[in-house]
Amino acid sequence: MVDDLPLNQRYVDFRVRISYIGKRKEEYKIDQIKTGKFIAERRKLMHLTQVQLAEKLSITDRAVSKWETGKSMPDCTIIPELCDILQISINDLFNGEVVVMENYKEKSEKLLLEMATQKEEADKKMLSMEILVGVFSTIILLSFILMASLAAMQIWLRICLIVGGFILFVIGIFFALKIEQTAGYYQCQKCNHQYVPTFKSVFFAPHINRTRYMRCPKCGKKSWNKKVLNKE
């Protein structure tokens, strides 16, 4: 199945840079296709379907399918649990095969930590972007309304300005919400499970700032879930 993928998707790779304190930098290239095939192989070996594996990790089976076709890598916070289930080391996962290597544990832990740090930094940037998008959309809306009510113009132009302002505002808020959904995690108050919710559940959840009242996919209970950037 993987071989049927278009060429440009077959060579997606995943890079992680590790800098040893004050020393050299080492770059790891992870072949996502190979890792994906390996995940599928190990999953079948464990007699699990994509749905069953997804359930164990409380994620969607679409995510599992994306890993297995090499379209994405598992989130760094899911990797330890995934490796446990597949009975492989983190290093095996990154290599796309079972490997025997010295100091592999130390190396994989560094890799994982580095992945988490990179993700956290990227998420932080995205969340500041969310504020920017939100503020910008509000300013646009207000200035369009102000212009429509104060400047001398024909009535149809006033209506166009107000409607246009609202459309831009809605688009802006949609983007801001999309960022909030995907950057970092929400933490369940009941069981402390951290997860990325669906856009729909974020959209409909009552919220105070970034804390949202949502149902946890792991324990199924509703609580005020805080936004967290790093997973423990």
Footprint of Zn ion on this chain (CB under 5 A)? Answer: 188, 190-191, 193, 216, 218-219
What whole-number distance in Å separates Cα of residue 131 and Cα of residue 137?
A: 10
Least gap, CB of 226 to Zn ion (angstroms): 12
15 in the Ramachandran plot: left (φ > 0), alpha (ψ -120 to 50) or beta? beta
Query: Closer to Zn ion at the Cβ: 178 or 193?
Result: 193
Match 């402390």 to its residue by tokens.
Answer: 192
Least gap, CB of 188 to Zn ion (angstroms): 3
Q: Are 184 and 123 in contact (CB under 8 A)?
A: yes
Query: Closer to Zn ion at the Cβ: 153 or 191?
Result: 191
Query: Closer to Zn ion at the Cβ: 5 or 219?
Result: 219
Least gap, CB of 191 to Zn ion (angstroms): 3
Q: Which helix (H) or strand (E) holds 155?
A: helix 155-182
Residue type, 70: G
Least gap, CB of 6 to Zn ion (angstroms): 39
Residue in 230, 23, 30 with CA at minimum distance from that of residue 118: 230
Query: Closer to Zn ion at the Cβ: 55 or 114?
Result: 55
What whole-number distance in Å separates Cα of residue 86 and Cα of residue 180?
A: 31
Least gap, CB of 70 to Zn ion (angstroms): 31
Query: Closer to Zn ion at the Cβ: 37 or 212?
Result: 212
Query: Closer to Zn ion at the Cβ: 34 or 193?
Result: 193
What whole-number distance in Å separates Cα of residue 31 and Cα of residue 214?
A: 36
Sorted by sequence, the CB contacts under 8 Å of residue 184 that are 6+ apart come out as: 120, 123, 127, 227, 228, 229
What whole-number distance in Å separates Cα of residue 47 and Cα of residue 14?
A: 28
Least gap, CB of 214 to Zn ion (angstroms): 10
